[in-house]
Structure 1
């Protein structure tokens, strides 16, 4: 039951439907009501839509506990990160032996590949962004140091990002959300900056900082067909061996990361209505993949569908 762009409301006796909808819209979750007998009947809301590779959801309810268990992770681990912005009420996020108590305007990041708990004692609403972990521009090993840390919406980077997320939520509710890929990039950039600012000083070691610089360099030079491990290493004055070890520690190879980012950019443009007049060859060449036949094979191997079929499906879904 996916409620893409829809608004769902479930009254007393319908908690089970809301519970199933929440678990389906996100990742497998255990959701229980903690309301006491005699309290007002349960009312839950769920609204979800997409912005490129981001899933944007508004979820609300009353007196519930949500748990991501090791069992549910074994059932499905798509490698996603969630960012929860508290809209109303009070929420608690627990992960990695930390607890973030969120009031309206506060937000926190958490990793769906690890167990976590969410507690809402009363009425609440939360805006949740969910996206592939690799989009968050911090090293994978840093994520464990920042999960379930409260990022205040009133100070520091939080004071910049929280109003942005609030306005993004408003655009989801009103159906006025811009579809340009630049907005998706801006959201990820701001979230990455806010999360990195919360990382402990010893987590942002020189190696982690260098890895972030390298990834930014790769993204800025995807258009160059000659971009490879040696080019990246030379630009950053490190050996190819050292560069490979950095990426291996992050769970990737340099060549694999370059290929992944190129495919993701192509995938994004193929579903963008602004580029519907451009050929597939033009789009893949824009990101350094000059052999369109090779690109088509890579794309199908990665996403299970050809670029042409993917594009037709996406553009059809937009026009319906």
Structure 2
């Protein structure tokens, strides 16, 4: 089956008889990360839901599930070790992990980091938890041998600094993959890997050990995040962006050139994408178009109309009229062309 969006599978225990749910969930997580012994006080009627988004050699998997205790024993490590780092961004609930004498507790917006080559025990709280999990091959993390392993057991904040950048990307990916194409999967995987590497390096205070290209990619991600946060500012110029990141304009231009972009085109595309979303939102149908233009950094409505027509082939008012008439006839519609698998199909796939 060929799809134009990111490859994605869905697994939910609710489609199975209650007696089979926990065993199926155990097998699914074993395929997603590595074999583990799982236990739960909800095993008799277990509720778990997982989406698996494939980004080349990287996997991102948003999930919500009941109380769970994960145990990866030395014997399981010897029997099967895919040599992957696992990160979980905790979105709801709480949990704790132990590696022998080392124990760490986690709260919402913390990252938990694990490594399949080490034994561990993880337990979640009594209430269901929601996470965004990531699996990355150890070999893909661009840090000296043995250095990255030192991140295991640390609690990394997803609320500030490099951790917040990574958390923002993962939450965005988990919330909506429909705007990405299948051809974006490998590129997104590299972006996630670079950010994970930068987060690890920051946690280890090992930034000097990062490869130059990883420094550059992490910097580009920070700059793009800055741009998206300041799209409403009509004075968002390359000079201001460069100054905010303590680099020269020429270096800023070079960073974007290496990604096949210009700074101006990136700002324009982000502004127009945000404006298009507003124009097609029925809740904002009474908001004047010139207000939407101003909201996204266009002081003159004429400049906004020309830029929008150049990129989208129609004017903002024409797009709004089309969308409102379509909504009136068809009702709200979401076009998601993703691969969906039932538990049975997912099992057969593996």
Q: 2:60·2:134 contact (CA, 8 Å) conserved in 1?
A: yes
Return the structure number with greater relative CO, CA threshold 8 A, min gap 6. 2
Residues 12-53 of structure 1: CA deviation (Å, up to 9, x unaligned): 43212212222223211110113499xxx4311122131011
Report the Cα distance in structure 1 between the residues aligned to 2:115 and 2:183, rounded to whole angstroms.
26
Alignment CA distance shift 1:36-1:71 (3 Å) = closer
TM-score, scaled to structure 2: 0.52
Give the number of aligned pairs: 205
Q: 2:11·2:49 contact (CA, 8 Å) conserved in 1?
A: yes
1:148 matches 2:146: no
Alignment CA distance shift 1:44-1:116 (3 Å) = same
Partner of 1:110: 114
Q: Any stretches of 5+ residues in structure 1 without a counterpart?
A: 218-320
SS across alignment from 1:138: coil
Partner of 1:213: 211
Alignment CA distance shift 1:88-1:21 (3 Å) = same
* Cα distance, 1:115 vs structure 2: 0.7
Report the Cα distance in structure 1 between the residues aligned to 2:55 and 2:170, rounded to whole angstroms.
13
Partner of 2:192: 187
Report the Cα distance in structure 1 between the residues aligned to 2:67 and 2:131, rounded to whole angstroms.
13
* Cα distance, 1:81 vs structure 2: 1.0
Residues 51-92 of structure 1: CA deviation (Å, up to 9, x unaligned): 011012123221110011111111111211111111211122
Partner of 1:163: 168
Alignment CA distance shift 1:54-1:36 (3 Å) = closer
Q: 2:141·2:148 contact (CA, 8 Å) conserved in 1?
A: no
Q: 1:31·1:66 contact (CA, 8 Å) conserved in 2?
A: yes
Report the Cα distance in structure 1 between the residues aligned to 2:179 and 2:109, rounded to whole angstroms.
21
Report the Cα distance in structure 2 between the residues aligned to 1:113 and 1:32, rounded to whole angstroms.
21
Report the Cα distance in structure 1 between the residues aligned to 2:182 and 2:155, rounded to whole angstroms.
28
Residue of 120, 124, 127 corresponding to 2:129: 124
> Aligned-residue CA RMSD in angstroms?
2.9
Structure of higher CA gyration radius: 2
TM-score, scaled to structure 1: 0.57
Alignment CA distance shift 1:178-1:160 (3 Å) = farther
Q: 1:95·1:147 contact (CA, 8 Å) conserved in 2?
A: no
Report the Cα distance in structure 1 between the residues aligned to 2:214 and 2:90, rounded to whole angstroms.
30
Partner of 1:75: 79
Alignment CA distance shift 1:168-1:36 (3 Å) = closer
* Cα distance, 1:9 vs structure 2: 2.5
Residues 73-114 of structure 1: CA deviation (Å, up to 9, x unaligned): 111112111111112111223337433322222213211011
SS across alignment from 2:81: coil
1:21 matches 2:66: no
Q: Any stretches of 5+ residues in structure 2 without a counterpart?
A: 1-6, 216-350
Partner of 1:288: none
